[in-house]
């Protein structure tokens, strides 16, 4: 998550519910359960102990550790047979240093890149469901490595497992009706730069064709608010632009996962302003419906102590499966979800 200059007290808890059923056919429901089961705590941990290791040097934008991180992501997609939307062997959407340095608040940075992978829809390939997470972190400061296991190694490895589950479905002839874009964005810690480059400069697919963005940023830990009941995740923005997306999200969770969906930070008056602080917002400002999945901050947030040994992998598995089920439902609905609201500028 991007830093801000202040942190204020919490605001009132808001809980939303829905008894609506999802619109997938029974066959799709059965398949969703089957492929969600391939997402495991063991595999998530295997990825994260590599991705958030000291070898990746905190994945600072444009630095050698970040280049190792994007190579790891590309190698995974190649090994799984998940193609690039850019064609051929090119999985990197280049984000030039010149553009970064015009948009960054402070510092000077080198060329960087978003990592993109793609599963083509079987019936409505022109309609795109985006799943996003940021690949970067804080790098090395004062000789200490900021590993960023939760922020956002957790979201990154969740995406890998979700992509693998969708690819398994494709191999079995049960692939999604709509296309899925797996978008790993760079420069989030510098001001949501990678996602801004994608939406404002070079959208690989027209934003008008983008059904929604499911953004995963910090989903591997427990905050102080939920110590006694850790089976939760904060949802932010699900109802901001699409009532239908919010209802689908609620129904999917009720049917498959039964996680406590906490809307505390969805309040428009939330002083933390989390809605504006991760990569989904660059889609939301363009009126693309979004959901932001988040576990809240903790004592290791933006510190060298955010390491992979502190991740709760069972919770990470559950939250990752929730995102998968939501993506599966949105990708397989008969009709595209409707954006019935307009984004209010910050």
- Reported as a single tens digit per residue, the pLDDT across 168-178 is 999 999 999 99
What lies within 8 Å, CB to CB, of 170 at 6+ separation is 119
Q: Pick the more confident residue, 27 or 191.
A: 191
Can you tell me the distance from the alpha carbon of 178 to that of 180, in angstroms, rounded to the nearest whole number? 7
Residue 10 — very low, low, confident or very high, per pLDDT cuts 50/70/90? Answer: very low
Can you tell me the distance from the alpha carbon of 118 to that of 121, in angstroms, rounded to the nearest whole number? 9
Task: Give me the percent of the chain exceeding a pLDDT of 70.
Answer: 91
How high is the pLDDT of residue 289?
98
Q: Cα-atom radius of gyration of the chain, to the nearest Å?
A: 18
Q: Which DSSP string do the residues of 208-249 spell out, in sequence order?
A: GGEEEEEEE---S---GGGSS---EEEEESTTTS-HHHHHHH
How high is the pLDDT of residue 105?
85
Can you tell me the distance from the alpha carbon of 163 to that of 142, in angstroms, rounded to the nearest whole number? 36
b/e burial code for range 116-134 (CB count within 10 A of at least 16 → b)? bbbbebbebeebbbbbbbb
β pairing state of 290-294 and 178-185: unpaired
pTM, two decimal places = 0.92
Output the six-digit token pair for 37.
């089961």
Question: What average pLDDT does the chain have?
Answer: 93
b/e burial code for range 11-28 (CB count within 10 A of at least 16 → b)? eeeeeeeeeeebbbeeeb
How high is the pLDDT of residue 25?
47
Beta strand ranges found along 225-310 (DSSP E): 232-236, 260-262, 290-294
Statement: residue 19 has pLDDT above 70: no
- Reported as a single tens digit per residue, the pLDDT across 322-345 is 999 999 999 999 999 999 999 876
Continuous segment of H or E residues that includes residue 65: helix 64-80
- Over residues 17-22, the mean pLDDT reads 40
Task: Give me the percent of the chain exceeding a pLDDT of 90.
Answer: 89
Residue 9 — very low, low, confident or very high, per pLDDT cuts 50/70/90? Answer: very low
Can you tell me the distance from the alpha carbon of 260 to that of 276, in angstroms, rounded to the nearest whole number? 23
How high is the pLDDT of residue 343?
86
The answer to whether the bond into 152 is cis (omega within 30° of 0) is yes
Statement: residue 251 has pLDDT above 60: yes
């Amino acid at each position: 998550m991007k830093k801000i200059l202040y942190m204020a007290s919490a605001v009132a808890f808001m809980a939303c519910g829905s008894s609506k059923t999802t619109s997938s056919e029974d066959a799709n429901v059965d398949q969703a359960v089957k492929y969600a089961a391939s997402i495991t705590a063991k595999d998530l941990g295997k990825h994260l102990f590599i991705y958030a290791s000291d070898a990746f040097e905190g994945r600072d934008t444009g630095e050698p550790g970040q280049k190792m991180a994007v190579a790891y992501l590309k190698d995974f997609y190649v090994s799984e047979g998940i193609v690039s939307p850019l064609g051929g062997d090119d999985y990197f959407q280049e984000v030039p240093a010149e553009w970064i340095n015009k948009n960054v608040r402070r510092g000077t940075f080198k060329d960087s890149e978003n990592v993109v992978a793609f599963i083509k829809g079987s019936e409505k390939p022109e309609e795109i469901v985006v799943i996003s997470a940021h690949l970067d972190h804080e790098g090395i400061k004062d000789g200490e490595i900021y590993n960023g296991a939760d922020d956002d190694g957790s979201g990154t490895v969740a995406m890998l497992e979700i992509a693998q589950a969708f690819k398994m479905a494709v191999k079995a002839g049960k692939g999604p009706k709509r296309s899925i874009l797996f978008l790993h964005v760079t420069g989030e810690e510098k001001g949501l730069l990678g996602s801004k480059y994608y939406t404002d400069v070079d959208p690989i697919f027209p934003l008008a064709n983008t059904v929604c963005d499911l953004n995963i940023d910090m989903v591997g830990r427990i905050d102080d608010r939920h110590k006694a009941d850790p089976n939760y995740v904060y949802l932010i923005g699900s109802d901001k632009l699409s009532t239908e997306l919010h209802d689908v999200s609620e129904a999917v969770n009720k049917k498959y996962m039964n996680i406590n969906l906490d809307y505390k930070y969805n309040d428009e008056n939330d002083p933390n302003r989390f809605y504006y602080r991760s990569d989904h917002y660059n889609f939301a400002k363009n009126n693309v419906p979004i959901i932001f999945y988040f576990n809240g901050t903790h004592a290791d947030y933006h510190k060298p102590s955010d390491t992979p040994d502190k991740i709760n992998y069972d919770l990470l598995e559950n939250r990752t499966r929730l995102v998968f089920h939501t993506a599966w439902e949105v990708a397989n609905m008969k009709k595209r979800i409707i954006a019935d609201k307009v984004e209010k500028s910050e």
